[in-house]
Amino acid sequence: MKKLIFLLLPLFLYSQTYMAKIEPYEEFIIYAQASGQIIKLDKNDETKIVTKELIRIDDSLEQKELKIYQNQLKLYNKKLSIAQSNYEKFINIRGKSQSDKDDKYYDILDLKINIDSIKLSIASLKDTISKKSIKVNKLYIKQFDVDKNDYVSTGTQLATAMNISKSKLVVYVSKDDYENISKKKVYINDEKGLAKIKKIDKTLDKTYVSAHKVVLTLDNNEFGQIMKVEFKDE
């Protein structure tokens, strides 16, 4: 039983000392937000920090459709302008019935509805096109889960990326350390000032049921290294 308790609480040591592993500050799973064939992906980007268009999914069909809708929109706008001009003249002609005038007005309304529909289609296509270009800014690409020329569906996992501009330590502190923790100094391997408190969970953790999760940030890219963490009053 004693061994079991020790395994369940690996981050606690005596004397309010904790052990934590240096981890990347953030980790991202990049998913496809649109379907299509991958036409741009460089496997050489793996294990590198990159700022670029990481992946492009074929959008040639959407681009063609977009041009068609944009041309249609120009034509409908011209048609609407002419219809509105003719309507202004028509309603001033003597002898024209109200029914005839209404018919002309309904024609204008139909044109406006068509124009709004085309604008919606254009917006939808632009949104799809934007989702087919995946760009990253100073992210470490851990791995790709697909290859160039693969066909992917919406929701397909494409790559794993990380923000390693800084690192983090996750510790699960006792009730004693949690009290007034924001006023305490953080010591890493007996040194002060190496880490800052980023997040403090006010609720008890689901796994370490008697502890509060605390996230520390620090500038150290020795990922995987185990560090001693202490919180001290001063």
- Residue 203: exposure state from Cβ atoms within 10 A (0-12, 13-18, ≥19): exposed
The candidate with the shortest Cα–Cα distance to 38, out of 158, 155, 150, 160, is 150
CATH number (domain holding residue 212): 2.40.30.170
Pairing relation of β-strands 12-13 and 17-21?
antiparallel
pTM score over 0.75:
yes
Interacting residues of 230 by C-beta distance below 8 A, sequence separation 6+: 16, 17, 18, 186, 187, 190
Distance CA 170, CA 160 (A): 21
The answer as to whether 36 is a domain residue is: no
The answer as to whether 143 is a domain residue is: no
Q: Do 127 and 171 belong to one domain?
A: no
Q: Do 129 and 176 belong to one domain?
A: no
The answer as to whether 224 is a domain residue is: yes
Among all chains, which residue has been given the structure tokens 């934590």?
20
Amino acid type, 39: I
Which residue range is the domain that position 122 belongs to?
A: 59-133
Q: Which long-range contacts (CB under 8 A, 24 or more apart) does 82-89 make?
A: 83/107, 83/108, 83/111, 84/108
The answer as to whether 88 is a domain residue is: yes
Q: Total domain count for the chain?
A: 2
Q: Which of 115, 133, 151 is at the close of a domain?
A: 133
pLDDT 10s digit of each residue in the chain, 234 long?
A: 444 433 334 444 444 899 999 999 999 999 999 999 999 999 999 999 999 999 999 999 999 999 999 999 999 999 999 999 988 888 777 777 788 788 888 989 999 999 999 999 999 999 999 999 999 999 999 999 999 999 999 999 999 999 999 999 999 999 888 988 988 999 999 999 999 999 999 999 888 888 999 999 999 989 999 999 999 987
